[in-house]
A = this chain, B = another copy of it.
Amino acid sequence: MRASPDDHLTIGEIIRRTGVPASALHFYERKGLIFSERGSGNQRIFSRHMIRRISLIIVAKRLNIPLSHVAEVFTTLPTDRAPTHKDWQRVSRIWKRQLEERRRAIETLEQELTGCIGCGCLSLKACLLLNPDDALEGRGPGPVRLQEPNVALPDGPSTRQAT
């Protein structure tokens, strides 16, 4: 185990401390989420405070926040030192709002679905579930074109990753 000065960590040490595999760290670096200097043999040398960024990424993953958004908020973070407590509060409040939005979207869907269970019509003209934006006002009679809008609601964790 090669010893590094306390604020210069090899990728191996980062892996041991964070549990994030090298492939993912490489990937994050390519995406600009983290960065490193290089040592004599071209090895990555990470600043100690990079661990904080990686922690943020881990949290974002748990919250199902896409890395593109993480990259966005990372542009508002200091690059030369660890994010402060204030930084963390700012970011986490943004993420909390996103969770709230997602929860509300799900609640809305739950209500619609509950209403539709009894009905069961799945009418292409009238069903709320099939016509999210109730955009069928003022379109003449006849079949209605569906799913135009670009409502993208990020979903919760459950349905994937059957490890």
Residues of A within 8 A of B (CB): 15-21, 51-52, 55-56, 58-59, 61-66, 69, 85, 88-89, 92-93, 95-96, 98-103, 105-107, 109-110, 113-114, 116-117, 120, 122, 124, 127, 129-130, 132, 143-149, 153, 155-163
- Check A58–B147 contact: CB distance below 8 A: yes
Are the CB atoms of A107 and B103 closer together than 8 Å?
yes
CA distance A92 to B101 in the complex (A): 23
Q: Is the Cβ of A158 less than 8 Å from the Cβ of B102?
A: yes
Question: How far, in Å, is A91 (CB) from chain B's closest CB?
Answer: 9
Which B residues touch A64, using CB under 8 A? 153, 155, 159
Determine if A102 and B163 form an interchain contact, defined as CB atoms under 8 angstroms apart. no
